[in-house]
A and B are shown apart, each in its own frame.
Chain A
Amino acid sequence: MCLAIPGKLIELTTENGLKMGIIDVNGSKTRACLEYVPDIKAGQYTIVHAGFALKIIDEEEAAESLKLWQELIESGAFQPEEDSPFPEIV
């Protein structure tokens, strides 16, 4: 139901008494309200929904779970399928 896209806070501002910021999403920059992430610092990643930063992304947790998955792949607990997922079309 809710599109919320990760982006990096690059600038903090104030507008009409509200804590606002510029979020970089892959080179596109959008304005977001930061009132709900009062501890956020420039350089941190957050998810943006309807012009609001809703949560600071827990970078450690993300790295940890990706590492676990990577280990799952490397452990060879199961055989990956032999073919590439799609045939070359060219």
Chain B
Amino acid sequence: MRYIDEYRDPELARTLLDEIRRKATRRWTIMEICGGQTHSILRNGLDQLLPGSIELVHGPGCPVCVTPLESIERALAIAAREEVIFTSFGDMLRVPGNAKDLFMVRSAGGDVRIVFSPLDALQIARDNPSKEVVFFAVGFETTAPANAMAVWQAAREGRENFSVLVSQVMVPPAMRAILSSPGNRVQGFLAAGHVCAVMGYEEYEPVAREFHVPIVPTGFEPVDLLAGILNTVELLEEGRAEVVNRYGRVVSREGNPVAREIMAKVFEVIDRPWRGIGLIPDSGLGLREAFARFDAEKKFHVTNICAQESPLCMSGSVLQGMLKPDGCPAFAKECTPEHPLGATMVSSEGACAAYYNYHTIVS
């Protein structure tokens, strides 16, 4: 596969690993922000191959993991309504609320459908004019343009039976929250390549300066990740707190201006709670007033639904890189992929699930 296989080349990976070993003279703690990168690192066992001096900690960049419990509860409430066809990416169907997940709503008679694109949800709305079609618009900046376009297009068509339940979050405020936390151990970041494909990396430059950390946008294949780690190590060794782009084939400094424009027209920056972490100011996106009629929370009056996390779950510390998944007392005991206590165990790219799946015996 072009633009994948080149970046899975074992020889190139070995070369980069040797180079990382050569360059690293001290212990460094590096966070990959993105859950997709965590998944790729563990799936390919890259952490086993890195020198012991390089510790990778796994970041909060998994929309499934950080979608707050109250949003899940609101989704469950809306999906159970008779007039509703509830549409979602496959990722969200197994995420448990307090007592249920979307699969259980479906088995109880709810019309819950998996879509690949938000535009597919809009098509379902066109095909079912007598139904209310709701799309669960989760994601980071990568997914925001897709979600924005569905709303934009619905407005253009005057599609009143379509609405979105928004749980959009953004990376830089989460990085700031992690770096500002007293327990922070992160010394350098691999920035999420596909977030940067949309947003560019300009907004990471002040973060690098302010907190004196190197930030390296990188891709998702082993060679991309290792090149990103190598670059981060080089910057750390040289004491340079800069943003260096290692994903040039996809990421430019300004990102995708067309996508950012529609995003800005549809969404505005708001405070958002993150599951396991809590409220992070200015960390989310919500629909602008002009699109309020597409807001499922308002349409179905679910803003009053609140929820409590399991007291056993330490996913907040895991998401902020302060605790490795297997350091949690509930890990693989009360909390497993079959019975997840927190979202990091739910999503296949959640750090806890990835540890559970790939790590149990390798040690």
Contacts and interface: CB of A to CB of B under 8 A. Distances in A.
User: In the complex, are there CB atoms of A and B closer than 8 Å?
Assistant: yes
B119 A1 contact: no
Given A1-B195, A2-B192, A80-B18, A54 B6 contact: no
Nearest to B347: A1
Contact of A45 (B3, B142, B259): B3
A85 B48 CA distance: 13
Contacts of A73: 11-12, 15
A47 B250 contact: yes
Main secondary structure of the interface of A (DSSP, over half): mixed
Nearest to B156: A17
Nearest to A4: B194
Interface string A49-87: 111101101110110111001101100011111000100
B253 to A, nearest CB: 13
Contacts of B6: 62, 66
A55 B197 contact: yes
The CB with the most chain B CB atoms within 10 A, among A5, A49, A64, A77, is that of A49
24 contacts: A1-B139, A1-B194, A2-B192, A6-B1, A17-B153, A18-B149, A37-B256, A38-B258, A50-B139, A50-B143, A51-B120, A52-B117, A52-B145, A54-B198, A55-B256, A58-B248, A58-B252, A62-B248, A64-B248, A69-B12, A69-B16, A77-B19, A79-B18, A85-B14
Interface of A: 1-6, 8, 16-18, 25-26, 30-33, 35-38, 45, 47, 49-52, 54-55, 57-59, 61-62, 64-66, 69-70, 72-73, 77-81, 85
Given A2-B140, A47-B194, A51-B119, 13 more contacts: A2-B142, A6-B3, A8-B2, A36-B145, A49-B194, A50-B139, A55-B250, A57-B3, A61-B249, A70-B12, A73-B12, A78-B15, A80-B11
